[in-house]
Structure 1
Amino acid sequence: MDLIVYEYDQDYVLDCFRNGEFDFVDGVSEVAETEFFRYIGAKKILGKLAETYPTPREKEEVPLWMYVASNLSMRLHGVHSFHAYPYVIRCGGMLNAFGPKVARKTKHPETGDVTLSCNGFNDKNTYDRQTPCDQDYLRKLARATAPEQLHRWFNRDVMQVLKQHRAFDAEGIFLGDASYLFVPDNPNYEGSVRMLFDEHNHPVDSKEIGPEKKARCRWRRCYKMVSLVHTNRAGDYFLYAGLSVIAGNRHEGPILWGLVDGFVEAVGRGVMKQLILDRGFLDGKQIGRCKQEHGIDVLIPLKKNMDVYEDVLGLVRARKVKFEPYSPPPPKPPVNPKPTRVPREIQQREKKRQKTLQQRKESAPPPPADKVLIRSEIASIRDFRTWPSCPVPLNVTVNQEHYADGHTDTWMLVDTGNSGKGACARDDYRLRTGIEERHRQLKCFVDLMEFTSRKFSLICNQVVFVALCYSLMQLFLLRIKRADLNRRTEPQIRRQLMPTDSFIIVYYCNRFALFTTAEYTEILLTLSAEASKKILEKIRRLRRELTQELKLVRAP
């Protein structure tokens, strides 16, 4: 079956319905999910993803677009067990985008519960179909897909599709990061390793720490996810531009540079223009190669034990560097802005609450002097060449934080750009902390680490499709001009987009229209006699067909 996505055309379907013409009528609730799949289907994103998916099957009985769409629908609902696929497909809105030929609602002949009647894609089923494809088909295909091929598909083919749809901002800002994915302490998790972590979930070496600190550490089994994330300067959205799931004890540096090479190979030079990294990726040779071969400027902080850090610190101590005050950019407005019109009693209540908070703040002991920041200063050094392994000149941004007790904290950023503006470099580096918040959202609110299988291919499948679903949803919200929702968690986005009322969906000629119950009732009551007769005859015929569709069914 070819991929057919129904087009939203309210006026056309309404005019035809007033003349008694329609194909099918149904009730829907998950309109947001329907619109999401209609978007990626109408823009041919879904079809292109399916065409390039690295299926290990020689014979394709179920179209790959249904596999990709079903996988995305599960991740959209925060469900990762394939056994829950029938639940997701019945309560979700994915099938509404593909029309009644794929699936339509009906009643279970034994229990009377609402279920689905699906045509399916082959004639192998003995029982009548209640899902467009079997959940075991999804699980087996995901299990059989090689992790290396799946990573390559996401890092190359998916990126080409996103580029075709202008998903990448003209400034070309990308962030690199590595994050640990913790799993239960079960050695059957393929490719996982057991490592010692401190109370902040940072890996430590048991031979290099004292007994007091070791008592606060614990052994945890983990993987590591190395990722490339694309954003704009305002941080309005975050799109995954590459990722790789590896054992937790492997170094992330070579993996990230491989992701950068693969991205440039897939979409060409000029898309990635600036790469912002943390200290874990320090590699002078690779930083220089990125600049020379790909034209990518790298922004990264220095470690204090590096020779180049000591060289710059010597210039600072000799007072050969001029510092200037630094003020961070203003914070973004809150995700949930305060209402413009507030009742008087609520205003009085809030005023009293603020007064109480101020009194508590005044009575609280002052913070330690070594934690009170007095001022921040920055200085820039251009064309710095004392890093032997880096073949390109560097711009160094020296940052000094002055505290109330008199001590000064110095840290440095280096970049291969040509601006030499320290304030810009520090402002840009603030974007990197945003990727940590995105990882927190995925882990806490989308259950990225709630793996239901110990098979490495299924673990990679879950991570890749969560990242793909997250990126496509971010792109979808941008296109419908709801970028404000990109800063929310996935459950918050679903609640915000979820309609508070049920809708009636009317299909006709590969188009559909949505009506509230009141609108649909008004349309029916104002139809002409001829149109009413035609609609009544077709509705009765559809009812007879639906009651006869499910005869031999499995238990619900």
Structure 2
Amino acid sequence: MLKVCQQSKDIVLDKIKQGKLDAIAMSNSSFVDDIILTMYNMNILNCLYDSFNDKRHHNTHTPFDLVIALAIASKMKLKTSLSDIPYAIQDHRLLSSIGYNIVDKNGSGLMSEGTIRHLIGKYSWEELFDYYNRTIQDFIMPRLDIKPNIHILDCTNIEVNLNNDNYEQSTIAIDKHGDIARGYKLSTIRGIVNDVGIIEDIRFGTLKTHDLALSKDMLKTTKCFNSGDILINDRGFISRELTNFLKTKRNVDTYIPLKKNMEAYKIAISAARKENNWSPHPSGRKHQFITLVCDLKDYWISQNHNDDVPINACVVHDTKYDKYYVFATTDTKRSAKEIVQIYELRPEIEEDYRQLKDFWKLEDFKSTKINVISFHIVCVLFGYLFYQLYLMTSEGEKYIGKSLPIIAKNYQLKQFAYLILYVDEYFCIFSFIEFVDYFSNCDEQTKGLLRNFLTI
């Protein structure tokens, strides 16, 4: 049974006098606790509540946003099982600020399959992903006045056991390595804010869904685009119609690498060779040179050619391997140097996705139920979001550019001289000195009760 605990030292002490005590925990702080506490101080945790549409008619005494907050902390601490959520936070600073915690009254695991159904059974998997989008777009970004003008689109496969067809709504497809795989697909728009990226819009689908099909509606309707923004794509999103739409209807410029079998790719290389006006690659790659090719509109055409917008491209020549790369854009005011510099913001996202899967355990599902899977993914994404927001603070900026696994490995766990006592629906926090004074004034029976928990 899930139990919400409220902070009250007077009630806890009174119940201890009656011989009642459920647990004593030592306060400690990890890197994750520092992040969560910072999110609380920035009023970000309130956004989880403000954006939540509570459809329950019963059992509303359990705040769903509190469950989400603790679940996020649990995922960030790499505790992927739903039963790990109790006591996910043991930092007295954060518990004191929030004033609530959740514990497992029966010791049978907080989030059994039945409890999950009880808490989120009224919500479809689509609503859970909508909850993430609504929270970030309508609450967190406005509260922090975050307005990215450069966005990166990408899809990632979320794979499960190929031989287990119990994964609800999973499909089988050929992955990018040519192997057969089962699972799902996640499409994301990531906004660049200074040196960090915020996952600001998401769509979820099955593995066999094409990247473009999954993403098209999101690109046409997302609230995250503003006039004059930039969208960086990869080859999986090549669509003349969509490129035209974004430029003409939303005034968003697209940057995308062209495929070798495209006429525009071949014409761009031919023109670059003919002009022979190469400049060194701005990243200092001594074997690579760049040049600008303009007016490629007529070589990448849609069914409605009259609607096609102008296209320029930066051609990159790798002289060591004699290979060419063509990066096209609808932003025709840009130089070759600017085009390649903007596009090279994109490779960073691949490392982020690798960390989401390998370190954050995005694919580590403990259930085959689509609601539970969606709940896990959303909590991991919120955790990743909190980490990115933390990097934007004065406390977190020193970690920019550093690998999260390395940060977590090298972080020194802080042990505080505080104890957290739980009994029934309440908890309280003692400093070590306070507890020693309290213990010394207790009768022998109470001391015996306390000793039982201190020696466990």
| Short-chain TM bin | 0.7 to 0.9
Alpha-carbon distance change, 251 to 101 in structure 1, aligned in 2, over 3 angstroms = closer
Distance 1:460 1:438 in 2: 20
Structure 1 residue 238 corresponds to structure 2 residue 197: yes
Structure 1 residue 468 corresponds to structure 2 residue 424: no
Q: Is the 8 A contact 1:175 1:229 kept in 2?
A: yes
Alpha-carbon distance change, 98 to 375 in structure 1, aligned in 2, over 3 angstroms = same
1:54 positional shift: 4.3
Q: Which structure 1 segments of 5+ residues have no match?
A: 6-24, 104-117, 121-126, 204-217, 331-372, 525-531
Q: State the partner residue of 1:51.
A: 50
1:98 partner letter: L
**Which of residues 328, 351, 355 in structure 2 aligns to 1:441?**
355
**Which of residues 279, 283, 292 in structure 1 aligns to 2:239?**
283
Structure 1 residue 298 corresponds to structure 2 residue 259: no
Distance 1:26 1:453 in 2: 29
Distance 1:491 1:514 in 2: 33
Distance 1:219 1:53 in 2: 38
Q: Is the 8 A contact 1:169 1:231 kept in 2?
A: no
Alpha-carbon distance change, 420 to 384 in structure 1, aligned in 2, over 3 angstroms = farther
1:429 positional shift: 1.5
**Which of residues 287, 291, 310 in structure 2 aligns to 1:375?**
287
User: What SS class does the counterpart of residue 144 from structure 2 fall into?
Assistant: coil
Deviates more, 1:46-55 or 1:482-491: 482-491
1:464 positional shift: 1.8
1:301 positional shift: 0.7
Structure 1 residue 478 corresponds to structure 2 residue 392: yes
Distance 1:448 1:458 in 2: 13
2:39 partner letter: I
Distance 2:411 2:116 in 1: 29
Q: State the partner residue of 2:283.
A: 329
1:489 positional shift: 4.3
Which structure 1 residue ranges, 4+ long, deviate > 6 Å from structure 2?
A: 1-5, 512-515, 541-549
Q: State the partner residue of 2:141.
A: 163
CA RMSD of aligned residues (A): 4.0
Query: Residues 535-546 of structure 1 correspond to what in structure 2 (within 5 A)?
Result: 536=437, 540=441
1:275 positional shift: 0.9
1:283 positional shift: 0.8
**Which of residues 217, 227, 234 in structure 1 aligns to 2:188?**
227
**Which of residues 355, 359, 369 in structure 2 aligns to 1:455?**
369
Alpha-carbon distance change, 476 to 494 in structure 1, aligned in 2, over 3 angstroms = same
Structure 1 residue 65 corresponds to structure 2 residue 65: yes
CA deviation map 1:457-488 (0-9, x unaligned): 22222222211111111211321342342444
CA deviation map 1:181-216 (0-9, x unaligned): 22112111112222334xxx434xxxxxxxxxxxxx
Distance 1:69 1:489 in 2: 24
Alpha-carbon distance change, 487 to 93 in structure 1, aligned in 2, over 3 angstroms = farther
1:428 positional shift: 1.7
Alpha-carbon distance change, 546 to 461 in structure 1, aligned in 2, over 3 angstroms = farther
**Which of residues 99, 102, 106 in structure 1 aligns to 2:100?**
102
Q: State the partner residue of 2:211.
A: 252
Deviates more, 1:94-103 or 1:31-40: 94-103
TM-score by length of 1: 0.66
Distance 1:543 1:445 in 2: 48
User: What SS class does the counterpart of residue 135 from structure 1 fall into?
Assistant: coil
1:287 partner letter: T
Structure 1 residue 93 corresponds to structure 2 residue 90: yes
Query: Residues 212-223 of structure 1 correspond to what in structure 2 (within 5 A)?
Result: 218-223=179-184
User: What SS class does the counterpart of residue 323 from structure 1 fall into?
Assistant: coil
Distance 2:365 2:316 in 1: 42
Q: State the partner residue of 1:145.
A: 123
CA deviation map 1:412-449 (0-9, x unaligned): 11111143211111122122111111111111112211
Structure 1 residue 401 corresponds to structure 2 residue 401: no
1:490 positional shift: 4.0
- The alignment covers a number of residue pairs equal to 420
Q: State the partner residue of 2:309.
A: 392
Distance 2:369 2:150 in 1: 34
Distance 1:461 1:486 in 2: 28
Structure 1 residue 269 corresponds to structure 2 residue 246: no
Larger radius of gyration: 1
Q: Is the 8 A contact 2:232 2:255 kept in 1?
A: yes
User: What SS class does the counterpart of residue 382 from structure 2 fall into?
Assistant: helix
Q: Is the 8 A contact 1:241 1:263 kept in 2?
A: no
User: What SS class does the counterpart of residue 175 from structure 1 fall into?
Assistant: strand
Alpha-carbon distance change, 399 to 544 in structure 1, aligned in 2, over 3 angstroms = farther
1:538 positional shift: 9.6
1:48 positional shift: 1.8
CA deviation map 1:103-153 (0-9, x unaligned): 5xxxxxxxxxxxxxx7x7xxxxxx96779x943376333455311112222
Q: State the partner residue of 1:183.
A: 160
Q: State the partner residue of 1:109.
A: none
Distance 1:442 1:415 in 2: 29
Alpha-carbon distance change, 43 to 543 in structure 1, aligned in 2, over 3 angstroms = farther
1:377 positional shift: 1.9
Alpha-carbon distance change, 495 to 401 in structure 1, aligned in 2, over 3 angstroms = closer
Distance 1:30 1:543 in 2: 32
Q: Is the 8 A contact 1:237 1:483 kept in 2?
A: no
Alpha-carbon distance change, 374 to 415 in structure 1, aligned in 2, over 3 angstroms = same
Distance 1:275 1:294 in 2: 11
1:383 positional shift: 4.4
1:309 positional shift: 2.4
Distance 1:424 1:398 in 2: 12
TM-score by length of 2: 0.79
Alpha-carbon distance change, 453 to 506 in structure 1, aligned in 2, over 3 angstroms = closer
Distance 1:53 1:483 in 2: 30
1:102 positional shift: 3.1
User: What SS class does the counterpart of residue 450 from structure 1 fall into?
Assistant: coil
Distance 1:159 1:542 in 2: 55
Percent identical among aligned pairs is 19
Distance 2:52 2:77 in 1: 22
Alpha-carbon distance change, 256 to 462 in structure 1, aligned in 2, over 3 angstroms = same
Q: Which structure 2 segments of 5+ residues have no match?
A: 8-23, 421-427
CA deviation map 1:50-95 (0-9, x unaligned): 2323444233120122111121011111122112233xx16x4367
1:35 positional shift: 3.2
Deviates more, 1:185-194 or 1:275-284: 185-194
2:61 partner letter: E
Alpha-carbon distance change, 306 to 44 in structure 1, aligned in 2, over 3 angstroms = same
CA deviation map 1:467-520 (0-9, x unaligned): 111111121132134234244444433344443x5212499xxxx9999xxxx8
